[in-house]
Chains A and B, each alone.
Chain A
Amino acid sequence: MLLYLASRVGQTLVVLLVISLIAFLLVANLGDPLAALLSADASQAERAALVRELQLDQPLAARFVGFLGKLLQGDFGLSYRTQEPVAKLIAERLPATLELAFVSLLITLFVGVPLGILCGVAPRSIPARLVMFASAAGVTLPNFVVGIALIAIFSVQMKLLPSFGRGETVQVGAWTTGLLTASGWRAIVLPAITLATFQSTFVIRLIRTQLMEVGLAEHIRFARARGLSEARIWGLYALKNTALPVITMLGLQLGNIIAFSVVTENVFAWPGLGTLFLQSVQAADVPVIAVYLIFVGAVFMVINLAVEIAYPLIDPRVLGR
């Protein structure tokens, strides 16, 4: 177990280093931050001075080493765009995204898992067919279409829920939360459903396929032969065998939401990381983009690590392989 743990953590660190190099190279070629920082009539002398200040005239390798060194000291630099510390910008936006990810994950679990079981246990029943039909739409529709459709129905037509923003927020220590106010909950419903649409349909299909496959396995037939109740067979013996792929998928999806809910956040003007990322890309705000990409890499690695560590707990056979 310890060896398994160490090898997984080691791999994570190597991948992180590679990600920071890629992130750095990517943004070094991204665009001209000078365009955003200088006025249209700036003279050449002013341009040259700014290039020197931002060290854009240094060789790429030297800039990467400097960048990495500062990163390790916990200095993430200042944003070109807002001239504020990058760490602060990310920390301010993180709660909104995490709360959104959390709520959409809850929806996925409470909607996707029961419906998936239904479709897997009784694939030919009418409700299961209806669910499968609806989930085809959920998988194919892009996020922004779902979001805009939800706004059109629930905000514009029915005037039930707000179309943008996070509602009122409450400060709890360093964390700004929208989950303690009524308007915050009202605001999170539509974006969370938008994100959950794709995920839950995905979970439904995954569980269905897995259960249908496991349903034919020998241990299930033996269980039936011994006269165990159907509920016990499916609930315990079949479902447990589908857990690994579902957990892997949910873990990746959670990372995806934290890192790349750009489209959904944009549609709902949700003040999270995705919005910050988009604003930074538009302004070629290199320091923010670089740190953001590394942060995203770290999130994925950590989630992946957690999932891999969870494997042996669910299925001890993993260690033997």
Chain B
Amino acid sequence: MFRKAAALTRSLAVAGLAAAALAGPAGAANFKFAGPLDAYTLDPHAVSNTLIFAVLSNVYEPLVRRGADLKLEPALATEWKQVDDLTWEFTLRQGVKFSNGNAFDADDVVFSLNRAKAGGVKANLAAIASIEKAGDHKVVVKTGAPTPILPAMIVNWFIMDKEWAEANGAVQPGSANNQTETFANRNAMGTGPYVIKERDPGVKTVFAANPGWWDKITGNIDQATFFVIANPATRVSALVTGEVDMVDGLPPQDVQRIEETKGLRVQAGSDLRTIYMQPDIARDNLLHGSEKSKNPFKDVRVRRAMTLAIDTTAIQNRVMRKLSTPVGLPIGKEVEGFDAELGKPVVADVDKAKALMAEAGWEKGFTVNLDCTNDRFMNDEATCLAIAASLQRIGITVEPRIAPTARWAKQINPPDYDTSLVLVGYSPATYDAHLFFTSIVATRDPKSGLGAFNIGGYSNPEVDRLIADIGKERDRTKRLGQIRQAFALMKEDAAYIPIHQLKILWGVKDSVTVVQPADLGYPLRYFVVK
């Protein structure tokens, strides 16, 4: 009944919004929700982390924000235009106040850029070379290279009150080596729809509606409490007992139970994160495998055979309990540049795969380690084991090396890239394929930082040339064509083996309407409690 069965398949962000609009604000409400992890800090410029942005986007605002449908919309900037290749002009909103009553103006924007550039989020703003105040409500941003998608790149750049930061000694962003802790770590001063009323790190965070917000809260939440409950069983119990109205990180094995519980439902929307495998094709030997003098992954036929051997539909049905979507590209469907044709999942064909292995001279197969996590993505360990079983069918003996994220990252990350085959998940923060290209597909270049997370060392000069063009192209149609071309070349080389796009799993009370964006955010301003 109700929406339960349909909830899994429908596009929920949109459905949620429609329902919210229908329901309308029904008086002030108190909302309680729980998730497995807490935001490390309230400092918006200290660490680049999805969860921090998810929590802070209720309190701080960027110049340009994403709406419930993920489209860009004006926030602290009312309009923006690219004046020339390297120059952007942002007109700032008038009459906006921070929650302490201070007026918002160009000084705060300039201050927040400099602060962010000194902190852990600086990589997200690498495109911006400088900023200049051009009047109280206008700033001019210079980019180092032509950057047609600049607005999409700054949705997580939050503006902080300059006077407040100066008065409280929080001018410098937090960092682990600072011997003094910054005030902004536990306190926040933004222009957003909510303010932090109470904060107990790792335990709970209480939000209260900001009565002076320039925009309108379309939901009816005037107070929200976010609890951190690490244990999944307890999280589900807290939902069942009614102690919380919503839980994030619902364990897949509890989906059925929640659906069968009266008054509760499961909300499973797309997660931008997409899981793929990357073999090491840079080295001449198999670093972690049986072949000490030869690297089978250098042969494109072996890589294609692997792509054909992995049955992503079986993984979707058996391992993921249908809570994933197989894809043919290592990026999510919502990402700008995703191509429906290229994005169709590959249909498994073991015979063809075996033939390719024989053609490449590897019919006897080989042994290789696959580096996987067991605490990062939904059912990552089980996915890893399923992939190993799939590849065994074509003679490749995969020995999974399963580790917690911290260990796994130390193994695979630059500068060593100490892996032969790795299972990774990625989502571009800009929702744009270009970021995927520059950090994961481009030829590795330690100097420019291009391809820093191209863990397999893939390199194709033609793709590199296209990546440079995509970065500059201002015409959207042309740009999408270039992206398609680059993806086609990349797919032909089979150096990235896409597995599936994940889903975000929330357990929600039927009396609550939520919006569930693919970037893992909690946009409280749209939530309605009946």
- Decide: A45 near B176, CB < 8 A? Known: A34-B409, A163-B243: no
Which listed residue, B123, B204, B241, touches A41 by the CB 8 Å rule?
B123
**A44 and B200 contact, CB distance less than 8 A:** no
Contact bitstring A81-104, B, C-beta under 8 A = 1, else 0: 111110010000000000000000
A12 to B36, CA, bound (A): 38
**A155 and B178 contact, CB distance less than 8 A:** no
Q: Quick check: is A54 within 8 A (CB to CB) of the other chain?
A: yes
Q: Quick check: is A266 within 8 A (CB to CB) of the other chain?
A: yes
How big is chain A's contact interface, by range?
35 or more
**A271 and B203 contact, CB distance less than 8 A:** yes
**A267 and B234 contact, CB distance less than 8 A:** yes
- Decide: A32 near B409, CB < 8 A? Known: A37-B120, A164-B229: yes
Query: What is the CB-to-nearest-CB distance from B257 to chain A, in angstroms, rounded to a whole number?
Result: 11
Contact bitstring B387-419, A, C-beta under 8 A = 1, else 0: 000000000000000001111011001110000
- Decide: A78 near B178, CB < 8 A? Known: A47-B415, A266-B231, A269-B228: yes
User: How many pairs of A and B residues are in contact by the CB < 8 Å rule?
Assistant: 172
**A266 and B230 contact, CB distance less than 8 A:** yes
Which listed residue, A31, A43, A54, A271, touches B449 by the CB 8 Å rule?
A43
A31 to B34, CA, bound (A): 28
- Decide: A269 near B47, CB < 8 A? Known: A35-B410, A54-B176: no
- Within 8 Å CB of A58, what residues of B? none
| Residues B399-455 near A (CB distance < 8 A) | 404-407, 409-410, 413-415, 426, 429, 435, 438-439, 446, 448-449, 452-453
**A165 and B241 contact, CB distance less than 8 A:** no
- Decide: A268 near B405, CB < 8 A? Known: A82-B185, A163-B243, A276-B202: no
- Within 8 Å CB of A39, what residues of B? 47-49, 120-121, 123-124
**A37 and B230 contact, CB distance less than 8 A:** no
Q: Quick check: is A36 within 8 A (CB to CB) of the other chain?
A: yes
- Decide: A282 near B234, CB < 8 A? Known: A83-B182, A84-B185: no
**A44 and B452 contact, CB distance less than 8 A:** yes
Query: What is the CB-to-nearest-CB distance from B288 to chain A, in angstroms, rounded to a whole number?
Result: 17
Q: Quick check: is A111 within 8 A (CB to CB) of the other chain?
A: no
**B241 and A81 contact, CB distance less than 8 A:** no
**A80 and B176 contact, CB distance less than 8 A:** yes
Query: What is the CB-to-nearest-CB distance from B253 to chain A, in angstroms, rounded to a whole number?
Result: 14
- Decide: A82 near B41, CB < 8 A? Known: A37-B47, A163-B237: yes
- Within 8 Å CB of B202, what residues of A? 82, 271, 275-276, 279
Query: What is the CB-to-nearest-CB distance from A193 to chain B, in angstroms, rounded to a whole number?
Result: 15
- Within 8 Å CB of A165, what residues of B? 203-204, 227, 229
**B237 and A32 contact, CB distance less than 8 A:** no
**A156 and B237 contact, CB distance less than 8 A:** yes
**Closest A residue by C-beta to B452:** A43
**B241 and A163 contact, CB distance less than 8 A:** yes
- Within 8 Å CB of B177, what residues of A? 53-54, 78
Query: What is the CB-to-nearest-CB distance from B502 to chain A, in angstroms, rounded to a whole number?
Result: 16
Q: Quick check: is A30 within 8 A (CB to CB) of the other chain?
A: yes
Contact bitstring B326-370, A, C-beta under 8 A = 1, else 0: 000000000000000000000000000000000000000000000
A42 to B46, CA, bound (A): 14
- Decide: A44 near B47, CB < 8 A? Known: A164-B229, A282-B375: no
Query: What is the CB-to-nearest-CB distance from B156 to chain A, in angstroms, rounded to a whole number?
Result: 10
Q: Quick check: is A303 within 8 A (CB to CB) of the other chain?
A: no
**A41 and B453 contact, CB distance less than 8 A:** yes
Q: Quick check: is B179 within 8 A (CB to CB) of the other chain?
A: yes
- Within 8 Å CB of A79, what residues of B? 176
**A46 and B182 contact, CB distance less than 8 A:** no
- Within 8 Å CB of B406, what residues of A? 30-33, 35-36, 282-284
**A34 and B182 contact, CB distance less than 8 A:** no
**B409 and A44 contact, CB distance less than 8 A:** no
A314 to B273, CA, bound (A): 63
Q: Quick check: is B519 within 8 A (CB to CB) of the other chain?
A: no
Query: What is the CB-to-nearest-CB distance from A83 to chain B, in angstroms, rounded to a whole number?
Result: 4
- Within 8 Å CB of B448, what residues of A? 43
Query: What is the CB-to-nearest-CB distance from B170 to chain A, in angstroms, rounded to a whole number?
Result: 12
- Decide: A83 near B439, CB < 8 A? Known: A32-B409, A43-B449, A284-B406: no
Query: What is the CB-to-nearest-CB distance from A252 to chain B, in angstroms, rounded to a whole number?
Result: 26
- Within 8 Å CB of B521, what residues of A? none
Which listed residue, A31, A82, A162, touches B243 by the CB 8 Å rule?
A162
**A34 and B413 contact, CB distance less than 8 A:** yes
A32 to B416, CA, bound (A): 13
- Within 8 Å CB of B407, what residues of A? 30-32
Query: What is the CB-to-nearest-CB distance from B414 to chain A, in angstroms, rounded to a whole number?
Result: 6
Q: Quick check: is B201 within 8 A (CB to CB) of the other chain?
A: yes
- Within 8 Å CB of B409, what residues of A? 31-32, 34-35
Q: Quick check: is B248 within 8 A (CB to CB) of the other chain?
A: no
A85 to B202, CA, bound (A): 15
| Residues A151-170 near B (CB distance < 8 A) | 151-152, 155-156, 159, 162-166
Q: Quick check: is B70 within 8 A (CB to CB) of the other chain?
A: no
Give the most central of B204, B231, B237: most A CB within 10 Å.
B231
**A47 and B230 contact, CB distance less than 8 A:** no
**A279 and B176 contact, CB distance less than 8 A:** no
**B238 and A164 contact, CB distance less than 8 A:** yes
- Decide: A40 near B426, CB < 8 A? Known: A54-B177, A85-B181: yes
- Within 8 Å CB of A32, what residues of B? 406-407, 409-410, 413
**Closest B residue by C-beta to A268:** B234
Contact bitstring A261-274, B, C-beta under 8 A = 1, else 0: 00000111101000
**Closest B residue by C-beta to A85:** B181
**B121 and A267 contact, CB distance less than 8 A:** no
**Closest B residue by C-beta to A263:** B231
A-B contact list, 14 entries, CB within 8 Å? A33-B406, A35-B409, A43-B123, A43-B446, A47-B415, A80-B176, A151-B234, A151-B237, A164-B234, A267-B234, A269-B227, A269-B228, A271-B200, A279-B38
On B, residues with C-beta under 8 Å from A are: 34, 37-38, 40-41, 43, 46-49, 120-124, 126, 174-179, 181-182, 185-186, 200-204, 227-231, 233-235, 237-238, 240-241, 243, 375, 404-407, 409-410, 413-415, 426, 429, 435, 438-439, 446, 448-449, 452-453
A-B pairs, top 9 by smallest CB distance, nearest first, are A43-B449, A31-B406, A35-B409, A32-B410, A39-B48, A284-B406, A53-B177, A269-B229, A83-B174
On A, residues with C-beta under 8 Å from B are: 30-47, 53-54, 75, 78-85, 88, 148, 151-152, 155-156, 159, 162-166, 266-269, 271, 275-276, 278-279, 282-284
> What 19 new A-B contacts, CB under 8 Å, besides A30-B407, A164-B235, A269-B203?
A35-B405, A40-B453, A43-B448, A43-B449, A47-B414, A53-B177, A54-B176, A78-B178, A78-B181, A80-B176, A83-B174, A83-B185, A151-B234, A162-B241, A269-B229, A271-B202, A275-B230, A282-B405, A283-B406
